[in-house]
Amino acid sequence: MTRSQRSSIVILAALGGLLPILVYWIEHGGLGAPTFAGARGMSAAEQFAQVAAGLVVKPAYMFISLVLILALLRQKERGLAALRWGMIAFLLGEIFCAVNFIAYQHESLVSEYIHSYGMALAFGFFTYALLEMLDARVLHINRGHCSINGLCQTCKRVTPLACAARRVAILIVMLTISASFLPLTVSTSPESYATDLFGVPYAYARFDFYQWYEARLLPVLALILCACALMILLRPTGDPLPQSAKILFSAGLGALGFSLFRVILGALFAGELVWFEFWEELSELMFTGAFAFLLWQFRGALNLNFAAG
């Protein structure tokens, strides 16, 4: 990837991050006042869970993500480079999450939004990394020696729309478009309250701006991006799995994936936000830990040197 292409991606990512703020600001005259509804007590188990999530789980996965970034720093392969950028977006988002708590006591709407945006970007980069590495190292669909052609009676690579891999990709994109409507039908329910964590004032918040972004804007973006990917796949030209379609689909699935992640946690723990935070943090540790294990397991084939990182 050239320097101009990398610069274009950074500029598009920055503009994409500003767009939701501008749209919500225009529609609502601001991002909303970060006011807390009232006070609520916490059990000893809930307090221990929050301490573990904030002081053990979060530092652990932030450290893992930093190690992975360093290990991937010199990688030029598309999939590994995308994974590196995904980890960078993820780590930056988590840094702003920590800043929101330490400096603003959960009252900074912008800091928490940057956290969410970093997560959505990371989901998209991770999706593209998996698709690219799967194709480049396992399936070889775009390289002319597709490893699944044994499932086809006759390879129809010369006519992309007749290619089985292209048709499966079209089906997956259409299913993703259908799934994008799910968050749009979920009722948002802002929730916030102050509490006490072993004698230290603490607060939880799921403000309206967060939920609008997660359950309204991201699904719409997923619909648009996946629809664009589908139009590319329906053209009777190009590789079986065009790069532009993979990029658009990855961005769409990243937006939808993060949307569903937050919507599901919000539905499960609408009134108990301590468990919302605990399971979000633990899920992120499992996620980064799984990536670390896979990269370590296949470090030889991927030409990774963790010691040098």
Other CB atoms within 10 A of residue 141 CB: 24
In 3D space, the residue among 35, 43, 36, 91 whose CA is nearest the CA of residue 68 turns out to be: 91
Amino acid at 80: L
Distance CA 178, CA 169 (A): 14
Q: Distance of CA 154 to CAs 150, 151, 163, Å? A: 9, 9, 10
**Average pLDDT score over residue span 258-284:** 94
Lowest mean pLDDT among 6-20, 88-102, 117-131, 206-220: 6-20
Nearest in space to 24 (alpha carbons), one of 196, 180, 243, 188: 188
Mean pLDDT for 48-68 is 96
Q: Which long-range contacts (CB under 8 A, 24 or more apart) does 54-57 make?
A: 54/101, 54/281, 57/281, 57/282, 57/284, 57/285
| Better-scored residue on pLDDT, 227 or 100 | 227
**Which 8-state DSSP code applies to residue 190?**
-
Which of 116-130, 145-159, 200-214 has the weakest average pLDDT? 145-159
- Residue from 291, 294, 303 nearest 66 by CA: 291
Sequence-separated (6 or more) residues with CB below 8 Å from residue 107: 34, 100, 203, 205
Contact 165, 146 (CB under 8 A): yes
Model confidence at 58, pLDDT cuts 50, 70, 90, reads very high
Average pLDDT over residues 292-299: 92
pLDDT in the model for residue 309: 47
Calpha distance 71→200 (Å, rounded): 38
pTM value is: 0.90
DSSP of 4-26: HHHHHHHHHHHHHHHHHHHHHHH
Give the model confidence (pLDDT) of 170-224 as tens digits: 999 999 999 999 999 998 888 888 888 898 888 888 889 999 999 999 999 999 9
The answer to whether residue 70 scores a pLDDT higher than 80 is: yes
Once rounded to an integer, what is the mean pLDDT over residues 221-244?
93
Query: What is the pLDDT at residue 157?
Result: 66
- What gap in Å lies between CA 172 and CA 244, rounded to an integer? 16
* Cα diameter, the chain: 70
> Given pLDDT bands bounded at 50, 70 and 90, which one contains residue 151?
confident
Could you tell me the residue ranges of all domains in the chain? Answer: 48-302
More confident residue, 210 or 36: 210
What tokens appear for 17 in the block? 């991050």
Q: Judge contact between 117 and 93, C-beta under 8 A.
A: yes
Residue 1 has pLDDT above 60, yes or no: no
